[in-house]
Structure formats: structure tokens, C-alpha cells
Amino acid sequence: MLIEDLIESYLLRNQFCPLPKLGTLVVYENNAQIEIVNKQIESPKLEIKFEKHQTSEVDFIHFIAKKKSVNYDEANTLLVDFCNNISALNNFSEIIINQTGRFFVNKDGELSFHQNEIAIEFFPTVEANRVTHPNRSHSILVGDQERKAIFEKSKTENASKVAKKLWWISAIILFLIGIGICIFAYQTDFKGYFWKNNNKIQPVNPVNTYQVIQK
């Protein structure tokens, strides 16, 4: 196995990998992100950073010795030589650590590390539909306030019951008003204004429009 393979394997197994006289590669796992509007959960992302602080390389050297079937001193020499090659980088060269990333020198002349993009298939986005359990109390987000689900459920049910009661009461009141108007109209002279015209037509005397000539 190449030393690059061993660095990558040790890094992913231990979440860090010491590089003598250079610094340490460190793996950080970002938390999953919830998109409430789109109802999605983004998977946790791995972020690999190159930090300048030094950590002990003894365990990593033993790891190299075991994988390469060499003694400790030979494994230490392999690691030191590889780190010296990284230190000798210039603006026109880089050293690639397999699928993890690459070392290079930035525009300010400083040693930097760039992580490779991780395939989205390994960190898929999943749907996040809200699930509520009847008669169980658990927190849900309502607008910008967190409330108990059982409270919201009972409040909704009560509002629905009140609305149904008010609808029946309104219908009964309107029905009684209509019956009252009909009874009043039939029992009084006021009914004429609804069903017929009670005004009597006065006859007009005819006016002669012609004369009879006597012979």
C-alpha cells in the first residue's frame, strides 16, 4: 500500500491524521440540516481540514508498520519522507491523497489542503413529512413558536365543534324568523304587499268623443 492510502485509511478511521512538522488532517462532521419549507433533511456532511497544530504520530507510525509489514523505524522514515515532499511543494505542483483531497501552495505561499467533493449518493437528502401521534404529547413548530401537539390537536377539535354548533344555531334562528314572517303576513293586512296588490281600481266615467246629429 502507498503511504497516501494509509493516510486516507487512518484519517477516516480515527477522524484525524498527524503529519510530522506539518500539522494534522482533521475530519469534522456537520450536523444534519432541516429545511422546513421544502420538508427535507440534508444528511450530515464530512469536512476535512488541514490544521497547523501538531499531534502525536506514534500510533500512526505503528499503523504504517503493521500495514507495510516493516519495523517502526522504517515506517517512521516512510512518513517523514512523504511529509518532506509535501513541504517541498511550489506553486506549480501538488500532492494528491487519493479520494480525500490534495496539498498545494496557495497564492500567499502557504501550504493548503483542498478537500475533494464527496458524491451526493453517500449523503442523500430525505423527505421530512411531519408525523403526529394521537393522544401523545410532543413538541411541534407552529409558525415561530414551539407547542405541544396534543394541545394543538385539542384546540383544533374544540374550534371545529364550536363552529358546528354555531352553524346549527344560526340555521335554527333563520328558520324561526322565516316562519314568524309568514304567520304575521297571513294574519294581517300586511300580506298584500307580498302576494297581491290590494289597491282598488276606481272606474272612470267615460268621456264622449263624438256628437250625435239630430235630423
The answer to whether residues 85 and 156 belong to one domain is no
State yes or no: pLDDT of 151 exceeds 50.
no
Residue 96 in any domain: the answer is yes
Average pLDDT over residues 159-182: 71
Distance CA 131, CA 140 (A): 10
Distance CA 26, CA 15 (A): 6
The answer to whether residues 100 and 64 belong to one domain is yes
The answer to whether residues 117 and 188 belong to one domain is no
The answer to whether residues 164 and 80 belong to one domain is no
Q: How confident is the model over 6-33, as pLDDT tens digits?
A: 999 999 899 999 999 999 999 988 776 6
State yes or no: pLDDT of 188 exceeds 90.
no
Residue 213 in any domain: the answer is no
Tell me which residue range forms the domain holding 177.
150-195
Total count of domains within the chain: 2
State yes or no: pLDDT of 104 exceeds 70.
yes
State yes or no: pLDDT of 37 exceeds 50.
yes
Average pLDDT over residues 147-170: 59
The answer to whether residues 164 and 107 belong to one domain is no
The answer to whether residues 55 and 122 belong to one domain is yes
Q: Average pLDDT, whole number, for the chain? A: 76
Residue 211 in any domain: the answer is no
The answer to whether residues 98 and 36 belong to one domain is yes
The answer to whether residues 170 and 103 belong to one domain is no
Query: Against a cut of 0.85, is the pTM above it?
Result: no
The answer to whether residues 9 and 106 belong to one domain is yes
Average pLDDT over residues 53-65: 95
State yes or no: pLDDT of 206 exceeds 70.
no
Residue with cell string 494534522 = 24
Could you write out the DSSP letters of every residue in 35-68?
ETTTTEEEPP-EEEEEE------HHHHHHHHHHH
Give the pLDDT score at 213. Answer: 59
Highest mean pLDDT among 32-41, 45-54, 129-138, 151-160: 45-54
Residue 135 in any domain: the answer is no
The answer to whether residues 114 and 158 belong to one domain is no
